[in-house]
Amino acid sequence: MRRANKGLALIRFAVYAVSSYAVFLSALVFFPEFQPHLIYINWLRVPWGVNWSNMDGGATEFGFLAGTVRTVKMTTPDNVTLGAWHILPSIKVPQSVRIAVQDEDEVSRDRRFTTELASATRVFLYFHGNAGNRATYHRTDFYKMLQKIGERSHVVAVDYRGFGDSDRHVPSERGVQIDAVTAFDWVTAQGVDASKIVLVGHSLGTGVATWLAHNLTVSRGIHGAGLLLLAAYASMPDAALGYPMMPLLWPFKHHPDIAEKAKSLVGEKWDSANNIKQTGNWPVLLLHGRGDYEILPWQSRALFRNAVSARYGRQTPELSKDLSEFDPTRGPDDVIVSVKPNANYQVRIYPRNEGWLYMSHPVKGDSGKVWYLDVLHAGHNSLGKFQIVDDVIQEWEASIGGVHR
């Protein structure tokens, strides 16, 4: 009798679980206005208690030197106020200035930051992933990497609507697109030429950065310094299909026809796979950890292939991981290999397979090189901890005209 009761209890639980899943999924289909809450997760406001309004924008709590960060406010065309950090290059605040900032008022601080920004040789405009805000810990670590790249490399990290100290509107694809354009226009309004701006995106933010590069190219004929994408996805429906943190579409992923139908019901598209094809000659660097189980690396590989194919005018084959297909030529510190004919790219394999760097062959009349670094041990949020990532970003940045110490 006990076994029978236990069996019935398990059946009831299974029916309850399946029914709940079906009801929840149906609600998202018939009431798509709920979808953004699960995609952007802006309601998860961590870290809490950041003092955005103090002289350093709360950044000293996260390891930044006093006097190197300020909070700025931007207003969008639809009258939403966004909060952002403007971060100075790490070497631009000598000890004498750090002592002086103790008595610096807000007007003097803003004058100092504005003057420095106008003379920037590089500005990294950073778009973060879902949940949290611009102060989330792995993000602040990455800003510190970027601010050390050159003598005059600034970082501007913006919070979309609904995040951080930005106005508490529910984010949407169109709303965040407006936010991205507003952030770019704010930087150029400070006297920074578009040719000095690298758009940086992580996770969710890769769709934002790629869309912005596409929009600037198609709508304004603007070509920035580059597009730097960490843990990118091909599209939001593709990301949703394999996202393990909220696996609503996982049951369909191994059934192609059903999967395509399920993907069509995702309202937020962020179609980077198509947008990256129309980024003109923007240089592109994609970085992805092989241990990323939130967004699988195939999605960055797909973006690399689409970007390279668009520039060559012919399809780039799947990225090979089979050494038998390569004709190796050894360099002093690593291995440079060329792939089979018509592959449109070559590969650098680092010692002990620490990383594979795929690099597009030069295209006549096109300065927009496309690189993709596959990092063996990195995960979704840990790319910034790897020296190989720092090294490749610096090499790529120098190759697109960066100025270094």
Per residue of the chain (405 residues), give pLDDT as tens.
Answer: 555 566 666 666 555 545 544 554 554 554 567 788 889 999 999 999 999 999 999 999 999 999 999 999 999 999 999 999 999 998 755 665 666 677 789 999 999 999 999 999 999 999 999 999 999 999 999 999 999 997 889 999 999 999 999 999 999 999 999 999 999 999 999 999 999 999 999 999 999 999 999 999 999 999 999 999 999 999 999 888 876 555 555 565 655 666 566 677 788 999 999 999 999 889 999 999 999 999 999 999 999 999 999 988 888 888 877 666 666 665 556 666 777 666 788 899 998 889 999 999 876 656 679 999 999 999 999 999 999 999 999 999 999 886 443
Residues 20 and 65 in one domain: no
Spatial distance between the Cα atoms of 84 and 71, rounded to a whole number of angstroms: 6
pTM, full prediction? 0.90
Strand duo 226-230 + 284-289: pairing: parallel
Residues 13 and 47 in one domain: no
Q: How far is CA 301 from CA 137, 273, 373, 378, in A?
A: 27, 10, 9, 16
Q: Is 58 part of a structural domain of the chain?
A: yes
Residues 197 and 55 in one domain: yes
Residues 19 and 102 in one domain: no
Q: Is 136 part of a structural domain of the chain?
A: yes
The runs of H, that is alpha helices, within 164-230 are 173-189, 204-215
Residues 159 and 276 in one domain: yes
Q: Is 146 part of a structural domain of the chain?
A: yes
351: phi then psi, degrees, rounded to nearest 5:
-55, 140
Say which CATH number the domain at 247 has: 3.40.50.1820
Q: Which of 47, 66, 212 is nearest to 135 (CA)?
A: 47
Q: What is the pLDDT of residue 85?
A: 99
Order of strands, edge to edge, in the sheet holding 284-289? Answer: 69-75, 81-87, 153-158, 122-127, 197-202, 226-230, 284-289, 370-375, 355-360, 345-349, 335-338, 327-330
Q: What is the pLDDT of residue 368?
A: 79
Residues 61 and 19 in one domain: no
Residue 79: give the domain boundaries: 37-399
Q: Is 358 part of a structural domain of the chain?
A: yes
Tokens of 37: 């809450």
Q: Is 405 part of a structural domain of the chain?
A: no
**Terminal C-alpha separation, the chain:** 78
CB atoms within 10 A of CB 90: 18
Tokens of 136: 């989330």
Residues 113 and 174 in one domain: yes
Residues 368 and 300 in one domain: yes
Residues 15 and 51 in one domain: no
Q: Determine the length of the chain.
A: 405
Spatial distance between the Cα atoms of 98 and 237, rounded to a whole number of angstroms: 47
Contact call for residues 69 and 90 (beta carbons, < 8 A): no
Q: What is the pLDDT of residue 330?
A: 59
Find the largest Cα–Cα distance for the chain.
Answer: 82
Residues 343 and 274 in one domain: yes
Residues 25 and 83 in one domain: no
Q: Is 404 part of a structural domain of the chain?
A: no
Q: What is the pLDDT of residue 29?
A: 57
**211: which DSSP letter?**
H
Q: What is the pLDDT of residue 405?
A: 39
For 64-196, strand residue ranges (E) read 69-75, 81-87, 122-127, 153-158
What is the tally of structural domains in the chain? 2
Q: What is the pLDDT of residue 24?
A: 47
Which neighbouring-strand residues pair with 83?
Answer: 73
Residues 95 and 23 in one domain: no
